[in-house]
């Protein structure tokens, strides 16, 4: 799991931006600003991947498979097959 004692150093402009959000009452702390930004970025990446997958399905690029076949393929790709 994550180590709550880990620290990151923000560039000056991002530190000032985060501190301004705290001063404006938009966040409780600089840590919250960073955490929220990371969550937003993660969601954006997941949305982009989902949009790409939907576009591929709409283009007829989907592959029919069963859950067992899919898990076997994933296990093989990860080198988990025995």
Using the structure block, give the residue that is written with the tokens 């402009």.
Answer: 13
**Which sequence spans correspond to the domains of the chain?**
12-77
- What per-residue confidence (pLDDT) applies to 68? 94
At 30-81, the pLDDT tens digits run 999 999 999 999 999 999 999 999 999 999 998 889 999 999 999 999 998 7
- What per-residue confidence (pLDDT) applies to 2? 63
Closest CA to 4 of 35, 45, 25: 35
């Amino acid at each position: 799991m994550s180590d709550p004692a880990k620290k990151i150093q923000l560039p000056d402009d991002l530190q000032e931006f985060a501190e301004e959000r705290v001063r404006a009452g938009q966040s409780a702390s600089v840590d919250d600003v960073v955490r929220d930004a990371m969550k937003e970025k993660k969601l954006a990446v997941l949305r982009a991947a989902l949009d790409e997958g939907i576009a591929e399905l709409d283009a007829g690029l989907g592959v029919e498979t069963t859950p067992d076949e899919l898990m076997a393929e994933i296990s093989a790709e990860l080198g988990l097959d025995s």
